[in-house]
Amino acid sequence: MAKQERAIRTRRRILEAAALVFEREGYQGATITEILRAAGVTKGALYFHFPSKEELARNILLEQRKDLTVPQQPFRLQEMIDTGMLLTERLRTDALVRASVRLTLDQQARDLDRRGPFRAWSEHNLALLEAARLQGELMPHVNPAEVAELCVGSFAGLQMMSQAMSDYRDLPQRLSVFLHHVMVAVAVPAVLVNLDLSPARARLVAEASRAARETAPGTDPAAPPADEDVRGATPPGPAEEAAVAGVAAPAGNALPSLVPAQRTPARAG
């Protein structure tokens, strides 16, 4: 058991060191020698966990999709918003996530398949938008697939601008402005007035998500992902009518609701 725990810690240390090097140098500029120096491990230890630089980068790409379960909400649009807000907070605080996004957008990383995160985020958004459509949250003209990809592409641009302008400090505000312009064309009025699009939402969601991870039995933040196809999306719940009426649908593993107790959403439609 002690040996296994030591291996998990070593793997995590290598990932974190590689993230710093990839974020600073990019994929082409990063070298195994630099990563070894930053991690303080032997070449044998690194290659035991990651047989190549590409494999290291591929595992870092997965980090932006980890630990992104958000509190279940009465409206699925709010859950999609909350996932984006949570990602803004993680970009501000987590070097692994920053490196993952850097690699995703690194046009010089020709040996690396960077399509995975774009597809995963689009699928995540599409699942929530389709669930929102079934609950009557969307305007009749809305095409969920188009909105899903629009949000992914727009977030990519927003985070690049925020990184250049403020090192991600203003990213929640930038995302909030974008959402205010988009959601007015996506959500029906009865839902729109109940969505929380404020920048402060980012920290609230992050705190709730972190608290849930810390109290969940058997979780190990240093463990490798069990399946790289895990999307981090909140699956559609069974209680569509209750959700539209403003009553959070029950879910065994759902995080605590962030909807203020005094706010009762109007029925959509």
Of 45, 61, 77, the position where a domain reaches its end is 61
Asked if residue 120 and residue 219 are part of one domain, the reply reads yes
Long-range contacts of 49-58 (CB under 8 A, 24+ apart): 49/7, 49/10, 49/11, 49/14, 50/14, 53/27, 54/111, 54/112, 56/14, 56/15, 56/18, 57/18, 57/22, 57/27, 57/103, 57/109, 57/112, 58/112, 58/113, 58/228
**Per the domain annotation, does 262 fall within a domain?**
no
Q: 222 lies in a domain? A: yes
Identify the domain containing residue 26 by its residue range: 2-61
Whether residue 183 is contained in a domain is answered as yes
Residues 17 and 119 in one domain: no
Instruction: Tell whether the torsion through CA atoms of 227, 49, 51 and 37 is positive or negative.
Output: positive
* Single-letter amino acid code for the residue at 191: V
In the chain, count of helices (H) and strands (E)? 12, 0
57 and 155 inside one domain: no
Judge if 77 and 205 occupy the same domain: yes
Report if residue 256 sits inside a domain. no
Query: What CA–CA distances, in Å, run from 257 to 1, 159, 196, 201, 207?
Result: 36, 27, 13, 13, 12
- Asked if 78 and 195 count as a contact pair (C-beta separation under 8 A), the reply is yes
pLDDT of residue 107: 78
How many domains is the chain partitioned into structurally?
A: 2
Q: Which CATH number goes with the domain that contains 33?
A: 1.10.10.60
- Dig out the tokens for 196 from the structure: 């929380």
**Full DSSP string of 88-131:** HHHHHH-HHHHHHHHHHT-TT-TTS--HHHHHHHHHHHHHHHHH
Tell me the pLDDT band of 111, cut-offs 50, 70 and 90: confident
Which CATH number goes with the domain that contains 76? 1.10.357
Least confident of 63-72, 73-82, 239-248: 239-248
**What number is the average pLDDT over the span 154-159?**
94
CA dihedral 17, 173, 175, 228 (to 10 degrees): 20
126 and 6 in a common domain? no
Using the predicted structure, report yes or no on whether residue 246 has a pLDDT greater than 50: no
What confidence score (pLDDT) does residue 172 get? 96
Distance CA 216, CA 238 (A): 23
Its pTM stands at 0.73
102 and 56 belong to one structural domain: no
Residue 110: how many CB atoms within 10 A of its CB?
9
Answer yes or no: do 45 and 98 share one domain.
no
Give the model confidence (pLDDT) of 171-215 as tens digits: 999 999 999 999 999 999 999 999 999 999 999 999 988 888 777
- Same domain for 24 and 57? yes
Q: How confident is the model at residue 73 (pLDDT cuts 50, 70, 90)?
A: very high
CA distance 9 to 166: 32
Does any domain span residue 266? Answer: no
Q: What is the band of 70 on the pLDDT scale with cuts at 50, 70, 90? A: confident
What are the tens digits of pLDDT across the range 5-49?
A: 888 899 999 998 998 898 888 888 889 999 999 999 999 999 999
The confidence score (pLDDT) of residue 182 equals: 97
Q: Judge if 173 and 199 occupy the same domain.
A: yes
Q: Do residue 52 and residue 131 come from a single domain?
A: no
Looking at residue 216, its pLDDT comes to: 66
Mean pLDDT, the chain, integer: 81
Give the whole-angstrom CA distance, residue 224 versus residue 244.
37
Same domain, 39 and 99: no
Q: Does 55 lie in the same domain as 69?
A: no
Has residue 111 been placed in a domain?
A: yes
Q: Say which DSSP state 145 is in.
A: H
DSSP state of 33: H
Looking at residues 105-117, what average pLDDT do you find? 79
Instruction: Read off the amino acid at residue 90.
Output: R
Report if residue 141 sits inside a domain. Answer: yes
The answer to whether 83 and 70 are in contact (CB under 8 A) is yes
Give the up-direction half-sphere exposure of residue 91: CA atoms within 13 A in the CB hemisphere: 26
Structure confidence at residue 109 (pLDDT)? 76
> Is residue 42 domain-resident?
yes
